[in-house]
């Protein structure tokens, strides 16, 4: 135990010296966008609850009713006894939203990516990833045992050069990208990647965790770009951001979804989601369908901010302010906290070295006057 503790202490000291040590801060999210942290009440611009649905009365009522009907937990994996009746409705609704034949819900977005990729490719296959793809995409690729190549961020030409040069060496090829990149807020060149997949007999998978609910009238980044579901046969996403609940999903053909039921280890060997989470996600889809204007507000708020701050127009509700060194990003975050804003500093390894940043996430309910004040503060950082 002494050697283990010494190892942990040494690692923590190294992180501290590099301004990379992290700690958990109790954050009580109240009504609206306010967070109580460290005895202070802060307006959060660091939350992925883009449509402010986590406390919506319809979601609360749906979750409560599900607990009354089905209890607090699933009780087992979905293949044993944990596949409660609410799943069928949610998966039907997700498939309809994304224009696919079927859907499969996982315990989280991380579990979806780390289960789907190894179920599709393995030794002798190739996974081609955007260099800035989410950590769970990289984890899923590594778990698969397939060869991994990465292309420059959002550079379809680089992806094409890599794939055309090596495609003949592998049985199967899978291209994976985020639809909306979680740390940069930009949108992948999905049309070009879909064409590349067609030309090279590859499969395209898009992680649209930050696109569903806020782009393309809620249908996501592909819909916003006018790309049909047939061009992206593997559409992954999450229930924990714009949908205000918890869980992940894959939308695909019925054959692919049936394969997930049999081969995706993170589904087969994980307890099912609590009924309340599934019911809340269904209620969120009801709201998105009935109020398309709601889905447009997060991006509109982000674009108001970028216009006021003199930044390039936002492509999504995520706006990064690249600061550079980790200590400078921490100092900028503390400065905003002094002004009653919560904007968390994002540091390596979440982002590449030298690109520590403030990551702003805009929600439908952010007040315009707060956005104006925040833009003025952030502009002062940029001018420095």
- Encoding tokens for residue 70? 């089905």
- Encoding tokens for residue 47? 């939350």
- 225 and 356 in a single domain? The answer is no
327 included as an active-site residue: no
Give the DSSP letter string of 18-41.
Answer: TT--------EE-STTEEEETTEE
- 138 and 284 in a single domain? The answer is yes
Report yes or no on 9 lying in a domain.
Answer: no
- 71 and 218 in a single domain? The answer is yes
- 40 and 161 in a single domain? The answer is no
366 included as an active-site residue: no
Of the listed 84, 241, 301, 366, which one is catalytic? 241
Of 274, 290, 306, the last residue of a domain is 290
CATH code of the domain covering residue 157: 3.40.640.10
What is the total count of domains within the chain?
2
| Closest listed residue to residue 137, CA positions, set 168, 174, 91 | 174
155 included as an active-site residue: no
pLDDT digits (tens, 9 = 90+) for 182-212: 999 999 999 999 999 999 999 999 999 999 9
* Confidence at residue 40, expressed as pLDDT on a 0 to 100 scale: 87
178 included as an active-site residue: yes
Of 224, 255, 290, the last residue of a domain is 290
Helix (H) or strand (E) holding 305: helix 292-309
Of the listed 98, 210, 301, 366, which one is catalytic? 210
- 180 and 138 in a single domain? The answer is yes
- 95 and 172 in a single domain? The answer is yes
Of the listed 49, 91, 130, 178, which one is catalytic? 178
* Confidence at residue 170, expressed as pLDDT on a 0 to 100 scale: 98
- 121 and 218 in a single domain? The answer is yes
Structural domain of 71: 59-290
Coil, strand or helix: which one is 345? strand
Of the listed 91, 130, 184, 207, which one is catalytic? 207
CATH code of the domain covering residue 321: 3.90.1150.10
Of the listed 98, 100, 130, 134, which one is catalytic? 134
Report yes or no on 8 lying in a domain.
Answer: no
241 included as an active-site residue: yes
The pairing of beta strand 173-178 with beta strand 203-207:
parallel
* C-alpha to C-alpha distance for 174 and 339, rounded to whole angstroms: 46
Core vs surface per residue 298-335: b (16+ CB within 10 A) or e? bbebbbbbbebbebeebbbbbbbbebeebebbbebbeb
Task: Give the residue ranges of the chain where pLDDT is below 50.
Answer: none
- 284 and 340 in a single domain? The answer is no
pLDDT digits (tens, 9 = 90+) for 92-108: 999 999 999 999 999 99
* Confidence at residue 382, expressed as pLDDT on a 0 to 100 scale: 59
- 142 and 91 in a single domain? The answer is yes
- 373 and 246 in a single domain? The answer is no
153 included as an active-site residue: no
Global pTM value: 0.93
210 included as an active-site residue: yes
- 124 and 89 in a single domain? The answer is yes
Helices (H), 186-291: 190-199, 221-224, 254-263, 265-268, 275-290
């Amino acid at each position: 135990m002494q050697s283990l503790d010494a190892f942990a202490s040494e690692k923590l000291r190294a992180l501290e010296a590099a301004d990379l040590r992290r700690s958990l801060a109790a954050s009580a999210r109240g009504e609206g966008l306010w967070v109580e942290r460290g005895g202070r009440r802060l307006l959060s611009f660091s939350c992925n609850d883009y449509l402010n649905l986590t406390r919506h009365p319809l979601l609360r009522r749906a979750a409560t009713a599900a607990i009354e009907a089905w209890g607090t937990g699933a009780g087992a994996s979905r293949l044993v006894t944990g596949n409660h009746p609410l799943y069928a409705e949610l998966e039907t609704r997700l498939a309809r939203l994304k224009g696919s034949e079927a859907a499969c819900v996982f315990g989280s977005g991380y579990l979806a990516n780390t289960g789907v990729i190894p179920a599709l490719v393995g030794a002798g296959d190739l996974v081609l990833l955007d260099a800035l793809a989410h950590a769970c995409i990289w984890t899923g690729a590594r778990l698969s045992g397939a060869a991994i190549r990465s292309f420059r961020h959002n550079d379809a030409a680089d992806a094409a050069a890599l794939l055309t040069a090596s495609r003949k060496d592998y049985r199967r090829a899978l291209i994976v990208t985020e639809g909306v990149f979680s740390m940069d807020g930009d949108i992948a060149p999905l049309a070009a990647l879909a064409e590349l997949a067609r030309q090279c007999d590859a499969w395209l998978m898009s992680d649209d965790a930050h696109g569903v609910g806020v782009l393309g009238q809620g249908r996501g980044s592909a819909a916003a770009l006018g790309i049909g579901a047939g061009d992206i046969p593997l559409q992954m996403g999450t229930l924990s951001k714009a949908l205000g609940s918890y869980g992940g999903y894959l939308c695909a053909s019925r054959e692919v979804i049936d394969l997930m039921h049999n081969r995706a280890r993170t589904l087969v060997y994980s307890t099912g989601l609590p009924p309340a989470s599934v019911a809340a996600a269904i209620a969120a889809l009801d709201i998105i369908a009935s109020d398309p204007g709601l889905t447009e507000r997060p991006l509109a708020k982000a674009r108001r901010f970028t216009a006021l701050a003199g930044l390039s127009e936002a492509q999504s509700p995520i706006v990064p302010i690249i600061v550079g060194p980790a200590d400078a990003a921490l100092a900028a975050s503390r400065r905003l906290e002094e002004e009653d804003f919560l904007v968390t500093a994002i540091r390596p390894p979440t982002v590449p070295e030298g690109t520590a940043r403030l990551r702003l996430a805009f929600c439908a309910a952010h007040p315009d006057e707060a956005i104006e004040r925040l833009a003025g503060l952030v502009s002062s950082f940029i001018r420095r």
